[in-house]
Amino acid sequence: DAGVTQSPTHLIKTRGQHVTLRCSPISGHKSVSWYQQVLGQGPQFIFQYYEKEERGRGNFPDRFSARQFPNYSSELNVNALLLGDSALYLCASSLRGAENSPLHFGNGTRLTVT
């Protein structure tokens, strides 16, 4: 079975632009979470979606938004990009959105903002 797939793998954008990152969860998984990993740091939680509803949001500005589609895939959108948004963006899926439902991570999208 395919794991969590993310696209694109790499992206270069200019300050002020917007970006859309995509994630397809493991088949049968209904929850998707997004994490930001800045170089040299641990991943930071951005959003969690379960059954197409937002279940949690981390400490990120409103420039960050996300949604989950009926097929459980998800998009992360970032508007008005800043240099500090340069990071590896990780998507994780799980069977349920509940505690102890193991998270399976994709390989991430490397975003560079110049």
Contacts with another protein, residue ranges (CB under 8 A): 4, 31, 33, 35, 40-45, 48, 50, 55-56, 58, 90, 92, 94, 96-108
Question: Is residue 77 within 8 Å of 65, Cβ to Cβ?
Answer: yes
| Nearest distance, CB of residue 15 and another protein, angstroms | 26
**Which CB, 31 or 113, lies closer to another protein?**
31
**Which CB, 78 or 92, lies closer to another protein?**
92
* Closest to 25 measured CA to CA, from 107, 105, 109: 105
**Which CB, 17 or 21, lies closer to another protein?**
21
| Nearest distance, CB of residue 39 and another protein, angstroms | 11
**Which CB, 13 or 103, lies closer to another protein?**
103
* Closest to 103 measured CA to CA, from 23, 21, 7: 23
| Nearest distance, CB of residue 70 and another protein, angstroms | 20
The DSSP code sequence of 2-63 is ---EEE-SEEEE-TT--EEEEEEPPTT--EEEEEEE-TTS--EEEEEEETTEEEEE-S--TT
| Nearest distance, CB of residue 106 and another protein, angstroms | 5
